[in-house]
């Protein structure tokens, strides 16, 4: 075995381990978000607070579009399209910040407060924990973008971009379940 094939085999082995590790981390995170969902169904039952439906739909759309741009960024670097990679990654970060503004700036500024019993506790617990993950995702994206700007990734080697993309999509998947649980399921309590 030559030094080159040995290095390549090592890299592939490392890549497999990295992916497995990341997915195991997601499994552990699923318990956290699953617990919050269980709390929502236990405490709210078949009811929900009167939240702004348009805002919920808008921030959900923003997060889904951000996932599209993140997938585009990953495809771009995998196909050696550096310009699209950097543009898409930056767009994803902007959309992530827009989502945060929607949740923290508008939803949290609504009529429900954290002290409003089970409704306030669950709403702020779920959106707060999710927003924290979005915030860490935006920081992760900006770090990857900065490294990408300096030529730190190539079509052959871009595990950092792949990990960042998978993390961002995971945050999106969590919101796919949180959105209907918070905004759509159950009858409105006034």
Q: Which residues of 152-179 are buried (b: 16+ CB within 10 A; e: fewer)?
A: ebeeeebebbbbbbbbbbbbbebbeebb
91 contacts other proteins (rule: CB under 8 A): no
Comparing CB distances to other proteins, the nearer of 11 and 114 is 11
Instruction: Let me know: does 166 contact 82? Beta carbons within 8 Å.
Output: no
183 contacts other proteins (rule: CB under 8 A): yes
Going by the DSSP 8-state scheme, the letter that residue 103 receives in this structure is I
The least CB distance from residue 79 to other proteins, in Å, is: 4
Backbone torsions φ then ψ of 49, nearest 5 degrees: -75, 165
With CB under 8 A as the contact rule, the residue among 20, 32, 132, 143 that binds other proteins is: 20
The least CB distance from residue 2 to other proteins, in Å, is: 19
Separation between Cα atoms, residue 182 and residue 122, nearest integer Å: 9
In the region spanning residues 45 to 74, those forming contacts with other proteins, defined by CB under 8 A, are: 46, 53, 57, 60-61, 64-65, 67-68, 70-72
SS3 state at 166 = helix
187 contacts other proteins (rule: CB under 8 A): yes
In the region spanning residues 132 to 171, those forming contacts with other proteins, defined by CB under 8 A, are: 155-159, 162, 165-166, 169-170
Contact window for other proteins (CB under 8 A) among 104-112, 114-122, 133-141, 182-190: 182-190
Counted residue by residue, the chain has a size of 190
40 contacts other proteins (rule: CB under 8 A): no
Tokens of 101: 């503004």
CA distances to 30, 50, 107, 177, 181 from 189, in Å? 29, 6, 17, 21, 14
99 contacts other proteins (rule: CB under 8 A): no
CA distances to 10, 22, 115, 134, 137 from 15, in Å? 9, 11, 46, 25, 21
The least CB distance from residue 22 to other proteins, in Å, is: 9
Tell me which residues touch other proteins (CB under 8 A): 12, 15-16, 19-20, 23, 46, 53, 57, 60-61, 64-65, 67-68, 70-72, 75-76, 78-81, 155-159, 162, 165-166, 169-170, 172-173, 176-177, 179-180, 183-187
């Amino acid at each position: 075995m030559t030094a080159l094939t040995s290095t390549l085999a090592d890299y592939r082995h490392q890549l497999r381990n990295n992916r497995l590790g990341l997915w195991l981390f997601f499994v552990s995170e699923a318990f956290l978000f699953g617990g919050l969902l269980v709390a929502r169904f236990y405490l709210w039952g078949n009811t929900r607070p009167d939240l702004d439906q348009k805002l919920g739909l808008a921030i959900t759309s923003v997060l889904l579009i951000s996932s599209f741009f993140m997938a585009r960024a990953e495809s771009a670097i995998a196909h050696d399209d550096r310009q699209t990679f950097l543009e898409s990654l930056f767009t994803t970060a902007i959309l992530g910040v827009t989502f945060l503004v929607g949740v923290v700036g508008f939803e949290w500024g609504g009529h429900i407060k954290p002290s409003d019993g089970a409704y306030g506790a669950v709403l702020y617990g779920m959106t707060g924990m999710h927003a924290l993950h979005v915030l860490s995702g935006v920081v992760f994206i900006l770090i990857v973008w900065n490294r990408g700007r300096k030529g730190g990734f190539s079509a052959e080697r871009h595990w950092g971009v792949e990990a960042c993309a998978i993390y961002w999509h995971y945050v999106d998947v969590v919101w796919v379940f949180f959105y209907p649980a918070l905004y759509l399921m159950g009858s409105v309590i006034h």
